[in-house]
Chain A
Amino acid sequence: MTRKTTFLVAFTAAALMIAGASYAQQSDPILAQARASGLVGEQADGYLGAVPGASVSADVRGRMDQVNIQRRALYTRRAAERNVSVNEMAAAVACEVFESRIAVGERYRDETGQWRQHTASAPVAAPSFCGD
């Protein structure tokens, strides 16, 4: 193998890895669309939920369930490492999500179970269990 080929192989591998990583970071566009149109939203318990009354397709519901299952796995692992309950780890993530990851127009469910909408005049209200 010439030096040039070695370089090419290494370069291609690196490029593929970067592409793979950025792909993994991409959120599901179909779910993103459902969030933007207010069909599903973030909840104060750290999971996604379907807005009542919204007609959520089986496809969207399935994707939402998949995300929630994976979130739960993440929460469970980190909770075990930190010696806290899964719900607490999930709530801590919800605090971060409520702080910065709910776009204007999106709906979200607060800790009392009430669905609200983030609008220009109504910023997202952080759950009371979050610190300041």
Chain B
Amino acid sequence: MRTAMLSGLAAAVAVAGCIPVQIQAPDEPIEINLNVNIRQEVIVRLERDAQELLEQNGNLF
């Protein structure tokens, strides 16, 4: 009985604790720079390949 009451209380506290949390949508879109970084890193890694393609296919560039 006491345990039930306690857990009920705990649940109530938990619920009450949850209610005040308001998630507000930010006014401005969140900027995700991670993608840009990954992309740039990949492109830097491909530098040799890019140079090779240019050298071997002078008719296309």
A74 sits at the interface (CB 8 A): yes
Q: Total interface residues on A, using CB and 8 Å?
A: 25
Q: Mark B49-61, 1 if CB is under 8 A from A, else 0.
A: 1110110011111
Size of the chain B interface, CB-CB below 8 angstroms: 18
Q: Which residue of B lies closest to A88 (CB)?
A: B42
- Contacts A74-B53, A101-B54, A131-B40 given; indicate if A84 touches B46 (C-beta within 8 A): yes
Bitwise interface map of A from 114 to 130 toward B, beta carbon under 8 Å scored 1, else 0: 00000000000000011
| Chain A binding surface SS class | helix
Chain A residues whose CB sits within 8 angstroms of the CB of B54 once the complex forms: 93, 96-97, 101
A93 and B59: CB pair below 8 A? no
Q: Is A61 an interface residue (CB 8 A)?
A: no
A-B contact count (CB 8 A): 64
**Does B39 count as interface, using CB distance less than 8 angstroms?**
yes
A97–B42 Cα gap in the complex (Å)? 17
**Is B49 touching A27 in the complex (CB atoms < 8 A)?**
no
Chain A hits for B30, CB < 8 A: none
Q: Among B42, B46, B61, which residue has its beta carbon within 8 angstroms of that of A101?
A: B61
Q: A74-B53, A129-B36 are in contact. Are A92 and B46 (CB under 8 A)?
A: yes
Which 4 residue pairs of A and B lie closest in terms of their CB atoms, listed nearest first? A92-B46, A25-B58, A131-B44, A92-B50
Residues in B lying within 8 Å of A, measured CB to CB: 36, 39-40, 42-44, 46-47, 49-51, 53-54, 57-61
